[in-house]
Amino acid sequence: MEEMHMSSTLPQTTDDILAADAHLVQSWADLNGLKEPHARTAIVAAKGVMVRDSNGHELIDGIGGLWCVNVGHGRHEIIDAISNQLSTLDFYSTFYTFTHPTAAALARKLAELAPGNLNRVHFSTSGSDANDGAVRILHHYYERLGKPSKKLVLSRHGAYHGSTYLSIAMTTPAYSKGWSKAEGIVHHLKKPHYWREGANMTEAEFTDLLVADMRHEIERLGSENIACFIGEPIMGAGGVIVPPKGYHKRIQALCREYDIKFIADEVVTAFGRLGHFFASKAVFDTQPDIITVAKGVTSGYQPLAATIMTDEIYDVVSGPDGVFTHGMTYAGHPAAAAAGLANIALMEAEQIPERAGVTGKIFENTLRTLEDIDIVGEVRGSHFMMGIEFVRDKASKTLFDTKLNIGMLVARKAQEKGLVARPLGHILILSPPLTLSEEQIAKIGGILRESITEVMNELP
């Protein structure tokens, strides 16, 4: 790993970094817990699948930054593309009558990769605003079609769609406890988690139940009041939940039956994590009306997101007598668009999604072997999107007391042993770069087994 070029004004030692960091308000964190000295980890450099902390420890980046560094860290192809772009055109917007070649080329590339007639791309800067925008666009779409009452959104318990007022409202209610959010617009359907919610049903019966729940909610609210359904093909931050077989197609069929638009939030699942550029069609055989992407579209090298809509939606919102009053200054920023183009070029040249289809399965199978440990209830997910749920009692699936913070205990242990993993209550999440070697996969499996076993043996 190369030395970081830090300006002398940057804090250098761990103590100096953490002293400066007292001014930084962390995201999605227990801010009170972070007041403890050294509760934070400062990452100072990264290369390939490795990161280095401010104490000089080299760690495998088991979470790919935050489900996003798909091609690995420090790829000069992307860094050079950003740098060259900034030298040519540092900034111009995609507002009003303006555009620039890099945003245009990325929009065309995304339209080429996205399934079916998803040919129109609106850029933004985060997954949250891409999802927020998707709903705004559909509200406007139905206004223009003379159906202004179609405003409600169907989401699901367990979903994660972001942190803006609307996207947190679409996220599982458990995550906005104690916070206000856009009230009244979003209605949550049952969580499609067979292992925990399926009781004594077969998987097919559980799917029937989920479909019946959705139909019941549509009938209760009135389809004339519902604009859309939003769902991650595999739920990520809600605990890596893979819905039961056949679920996606049946949800889509219900949407079509009731004139409800189907938004697939592919912020995590797109760009190779499940072995394809997009998962909706290739993995789940669905054809959404809107797909939102962020994270892997630039592998996190620059902030960029997109709301990719069908020609049909675009034709309505671009009709006469109206202005598309939606957009953010930095949408399609030249540096971010350059990062996106270079990232996709790299993925194509090195066949990263295809290779992830193979190595991701090895990763998945390696993690699944951990299910023989007494406190591992379920290992779930697909390819490079995995979650491990811990239980106090396997047979009854009883959880540990939340105060124990079991996920954090295992994550800390793993970090001491050289692996960054993400705790989420009683779940541990793994979403590494897609470029892991088989040797590194085996190493992750070994660290996790040791960490979980040690935590289990030290339990009070």
Least separation in angstroms between residue 67's CB and ligand PLP is: 6
* Residue in this structure with the two tokens 């991701």, named with its chain if needed: 360
> Exactly one of 64, 72, 127, 239 binds ligand PLP (CB under 6 A); which one?
127
DSSP secondary structure, 280-316, as one string: HHHTT----SEEEE-GGGTTTSS--EEEEEEHHHHHH
Nearer to ligand PLP, 14 or 286 (CB): 286
Nearer to ligand PLP, 54 or 307 (CB): 307
Rounded to an integer, what distance in angstroms lies between the CA atom of residue 408 and that of residue 428?
Answer: 8
Whether 429 and 422 have beta carbons less than 8 Å apart is answered as yes
**Window contacting ligand PLP (CB under 6 A); options: 72-80, 126-134, 217-225, 385-393:** 126-134
Q: Which of residues 251-290 bind ligand PLP (CB under 6 A)?
A: 265, 267-268
* Residues 6+ positions from 183 with CB-CB distance below 8 Å: 169
Q: Which residues pair with residue 189 across a beta bridge?
A: 156
- Helix 334-349 × helix 76-88 angle, to 10°: 150
Nearer to ligand PLP, 131 or 415 (CB): 131
Q: Which of residues 149-168 bind ligand PLP (CB under 6 A)?
A: 160-162
**Does residue 132 belong to the site contacting ligand PLP (CB under 6 A)?**
no
Q: Which of residues 48-87 bind ligand PLP (CB under 6 A)?
A: none
Least separation in angstroms between residue 214's CB and ligand PLP is: 19
For 157, 191, 357, 400, 458, the CA distances from 233, given in Å and listed in that order, are 14, 12, 16, 28, 37
Neighbouring C-alpha atoms within 13 Å toward the C-beta of 141: 23
* Residue in this structure with the two tokens 């040797």, named with its chain if needed: 439
Which residue, among 206, 193, 157, 124, has the nearest Cα to 378 in the 3D structure? 193
Least separation in angstroms between residue 126's CB and ligand PLP is: 3
Nearer to ligand PLP, 265 or 389 (CB): 265
Nearer to ligand PLP, 46 or 268 (CB): 268
Nearer to ligand PLP, 154 or 267 (CB): 267
Nearer to ligand PLP, 161 or 426 (CB): 161
Rounded to an integer, what distance in angstroms lies between the CA atom of residue 429 and that of residue 380?
Answer: 10
Nearer to ligand PLP, 113 or 268 (CB): 268
* Residues 6+ positions from 233 with CB-CB distance below 8 Å: 248, 264, 266, 269, 274, 279, 280, 283, 284, 286
Strands 290-293 and 261-265: parallel
**Window contacting ligand PLP (CB under 6 A); options: 15-23, 121-129, 196-204, 400-408:** 121-129
Q: Where are the beta strands (DSSP E) in 65-134?
A: 118-124
Least separation in angstroms between residue 167's CB and ligand PLP is: 7
> Exactly one of 70, 102, 126, 435 binds ligand PLP (CB under 6 A); which one?
126
**Does residue 237 belong to the site contacting ligand PLP (CB under 6 A)?**
yes
* Residues 6+ positions from 65 with CB-CB distance below 8 Å: 73, 300
Rounded to an integer, what distance in angstroms lies between the CA atom of residue 149 and that of residue 168?
Answer: 22
Residue type, 195: W
Least separation in angstroms between residue 229's CB and ligand PLP is: 15
Phi and psi for 157 in degrees, rounded to 5? -60, 135
Q: Closest CB to ligand PLP belongs to which residue?
A: 127
Rounded to an integer, what distance in angstroms lies between the CA atom of residue 389 and that of residue 413?
Answer: 16
Nearer to ligand PLP, 137 or 373 (CB): 137
**Does residue 236 belong to the site contacting ligand PLP (CB under 6 A)?**
yes
Least separation in angstroms between residue 127's CB and ligand PLP is: 2
Least separation in angstroms between residue 145's CB and ligand PLP is: 27
Least separation in angstroms between residue 231's CB and ligand PLP is: 9
> Exactly one of 232, 364, 378, 389 binds ligand PLP (CB under 6 A); which one?
232
**Interface with ligand PLP by CB under 6 A: which residues?**
126-128, 131, 160-162, 232, 236-237, 265, 267-268, 294
